[in-house]
Structure 1
């Protein structure tokens, strides 16, 4: 199977249907595929050969999707660069997988010379903007206009399709490889659990360099749906876009959901077209979920768990968000393993643990990465006996539902007791003044580690350290309650919207050794 196959089907069956909408600019499948074939020819003329890596550093747009498809149409491998990275981090990823061509949009033009001047292999730069290309760069639109279309290379199966660098929440970025076949498998597994809406209009706000967004993009191409694209998440623009474009389906991370439902324009907009809201990438607090369901009645909620190395692993369907299911706590689950996916929970020795016992999630499926780019030792560590070791701590109940408690490396060991930060964060999130929180372990002479909460309060609201601790004591055991509380204006986030606990821990552990790291 090859990823561009989806374009051939839609071109045959619905050439005049709109495929992309970006800030008023619309393209049909006929237009889109023609541009892809010509851009693929341009990339080949610029030196891209079969299997070569080509990068893109840009915000979401219709051009981003054209470029991804053109890379595959021309036989290349896509390196979607994290838009939150500095020049040295961008250059690291490009050097690591030998990326020779880079598309860059207006937002990141100030980084262009730094990238070209410090990369081991100075990349060919393509400017994806509406104005004239800067000196020394090719114009994206001119390349399409002046290039002849080329036949689809139709690379597929075990051929490498993409190298996606990890967000760096637990260490130095690694290039996760996914093939045409593994991406196809991931898409089909998602569609089996969540069939597409007929005539669906899905709004893209998550960054395309993230695996969840990329799989959703490929799913929409597979189903022949309409891509409505925003450059990045902005609550007011998102609400306006949902109303104007009559969006059916949303995919958001919890931090986005919280900003959306607390926005003053929420009640002013007609969101009646929305039928589905999928969430994932990080844990959501029970309080935020309940509030969201109350403010968006009639919307089907689902939660997916996965990672760059595995794509979607489990799905918790809408029926587990009903009042009866919520009374049983099923809405707090990450769901059950999808079709064609094996999941088990194991102890430190790799032995499967009894149901209800916390251990590490292991995954086996055709959608799992073949490994990390040029990292044989890291690959061998993560992939053992056919199983991907996720590093996520969870337990499984008797019905096979998985409840994630923490990243193994985020678990706090205080006085010999294991404290799972997600549990504490859920409790803190129920306080009416709390907008978001992150719980970490900090050094303590007596207990080894102490529970420390970093909290962002809602605008105009107040809470004291003692008030937060008393609130927690009313809901969880004393050893789990924060010993110290820190208030901040914001929390550090990765490009995928995950809280960077590594950054929060670093100042506390400088010069010290942490047992779970």
Structure 2
């Protein structure tokens, strides 16, 4: 394989005078690796797309926005918000599925220094209420489904202005999105500090409440450059090794990305949408994931890149219409949010003649990717997540936080300009997760001689369900709120489609009797449906060690061997 060429390409691109030159700078009290030529904020990324007025930008069903249309609506929304007294540093919440308005509002905020609060579209009213109180937005933009939940929260319209998007029947005092657009106006002129918050994305909390991660403008811009660097270094190394030079940039097709995962996550927003937008490409949105519909869109919109959770790529390839659909526009197909099984890496490469497999490993806490790998390098090391991006230092540490020799397994820590500032209102959680600029990823990994990172286990007590992090402690906290439950233990159950499903073992209080469905209904009233346990076991006791702690690993191993003994939804 071409690992020597890859190392040379990375050094050349990031060295003095290189397109992705890396230097060190003082950032919020830490010496970090930064891109020397990075735009100072996300505002400049958005303004750079003014050069593509006639190109299609957003496609949703039979609706289309050109870049000119999008800039008009972004300016109108930003000017309207400014008139409502929303200033740089203030927060605005977006609660909706992947409608085009999500992207328009996102750019309207970040281009004027206003902080986006990305609300999880699956949240219950209780979860929404927590995040709204935690982030204190000046305005909430919500589609009809989320609006209904928000309006069930006491006093929500007294605490903030509420705008209904695609919600024509919304009651007063909800403001209509059409009124926002009718305001018109120019994008307010502001200077945005690189280390100010661009957005707050919530991650599942280990204590029952989600944590609001503060993604900075520097972090988001750095992630965009990481994505571009990964493609450039792989292409350069492969071309030099094979002698097959890629076409010049002016001859390359305009990128078209099919967004398949929620925009309130970094995978869809910071990775896919940023990269396509910065290149003047077209973003194709779906109402919900459907492999057959995705295939039609690939053919009709000439999609060049699709990424989602790994099951989406598998369902696309396995769909009955796959063989008769023109997928020749696809150049990359892959996923994030969970590791691609090695067989799927090879299947993508052999099934789609024009597309190469790719993946990235990252976190909300790194504004997107930490590593990326694609094409021949992914084929050669299909169980790897790829090398760390150049703005990161990466190391594996032992339980004492001591750096381990290369190749040894330990918790992966990373440090760089994409690491979040912290968690809002949670200084103790920030201190627990970040030490002297080093982010504790909670993943157990090893780094090989080529610098490629392999994720081998998870330190965090967490279920990774279809790309969504579900913390076991959060689900346990919800289960314990049922009056009949004496003890419970939540863990991941292997699942062919989603990677893992949520399972729970429960001990009821003496004399109590409750069904699995009743417990699920109880949980569904407290938290988003993807966190509700699918597998439920009722036991007389949970295994404990000598100190009285539950032995979760033994319990999981024992119960997942006999799934027939569970009550499954």
What TM-score, normalized by structure 2, do the two folds share? 0.70
Return the match for 1:110 from 137, 144, 148.
148
Structure 1 503/397 Cα, relative in aligned 2: closer, same or farther at 3 Å? farther
Partner of 2:95: 57
1:190 corresponds to 2:247: no
Partner of 1:316: 373
Return the match for 1:382 from 433, 442, 445.
433
Q: Counterparts of 2:129 and 2:111 in 1: how far apart (Å)?
A: 25
1:203–1:251 contact (8 Å) kept in structure 2: yes
Q: Counterparts of 1:452 and 1:144 in 2: how far apart (Å)?
A: 46
The answer for unaligned runs of 5 or more in structure 1 is 412-420, 426-437, 441-449, 459-491
Report how many aligned residue pairs link the two structures.
441
Partner of 2:65: 27
Structure 1 366/507 Cα, relative in aligned 2: closer, same or farther at 3 Å? farther
1:505 CA displacement = 9.2
Partner of 2:85: 47
Partner of 1:345: 396
1:191 CA displacement = 0.8
Q: Structure 1, residues 57-102: CA drift from partner, whole Å, max 9, x if none?
A: 1111211111111122343110010011111111111111112311
Mapping for residues 415-454 of structure 1, pairs under 5 Å: 454=493
Mapping for residues 58-77 of structure 1, pairs under 5 Å: 58-77=96-115
What TM-score, normalized by structure 1, do the two folds share? 0.77
Return the match for 2:200 from 137, 140, 163.
163
1:91–1:118 contact (8 Å) kept in structure 2: no
1:499 CA displacement = 8.3
> Secondary structure in 2 aligned to 1:233?
coil
2:95–2:141 contact (8 Å) kept in structure 1: yes
Q: Counterparts of 2:392 and 2:101 in 1: how far apart (Å)?
A: 33
Return the match for 2:265 from 196, 207, 210.
210
Q: Structure 1, residues 98-148: CA drift from partner, whole Å, max 9, x if none?
A: 123111113323313113x26596331111117454332111122111343
Q: Counterparts of 1:339 and 1:229 in 2: how far apart (Å)?
A: 31
2:329–2:354 contact (8 Å) kept in structure 1: no
> Secondary structure in 2 aligned to 1:377?
helix
1:128 corresponds to 2:183: no
Greater Cα offset, 227-236 or 119-128: 119-128
Q: Counterparts of 2:87 and 2:109 in 1: how far apart (Å)?
A: 10
1:249 corresponds to 2:305: yes
Partner of 1:262: 318
Structure 1 152/86 Cα, relative in aligned 2: closer, same or farther at 3 Å? same
Structure 1 516/271 Cα, relative in aligned 2: closer, same or farther at 3 Å? same
Q: Counterparts of 2:147 and 2:532 in 1: how far apart (Å)?
A: 30
1:56–1:81 contact (8 Å) kept in structure 2: yes
The answer for unaligned runs of 5 or more in structure 2 is 1-39, 233-248, 473-488, 498-522, 554-569
Partner of 1:482: none
> Secondary structure in 2 aligned to 1:164?
strand
Partner of 2:484: none
Return the match for 1:91 from 129, 132, 148.
129
Q: Counterparts of 1:109 and 1:267 in 2: how far apart (Å)?
A: 41
1:163–1:176 contact (8 Å) kept in structure 2: yes
Partner of 1:223: 279
1:39–1:149 contact (8 Å) kept in structure 2: no
Structure 1 499/26 Cα, relative in aligned 2: closer, same or farther at 3 Å? closer
> Secondary structure in 1 aligned to 2:446?
strand
2:144–2:170 contact (8 Å) kept in structure 1: no
Higher relative CO (CA 8 A, sep ≥ 6), structure 1 or 2?
Answer: 2
Return the match for 1:354 from 405, 416, 421.
405
**Alignment RMSD, CA only?**
3.4
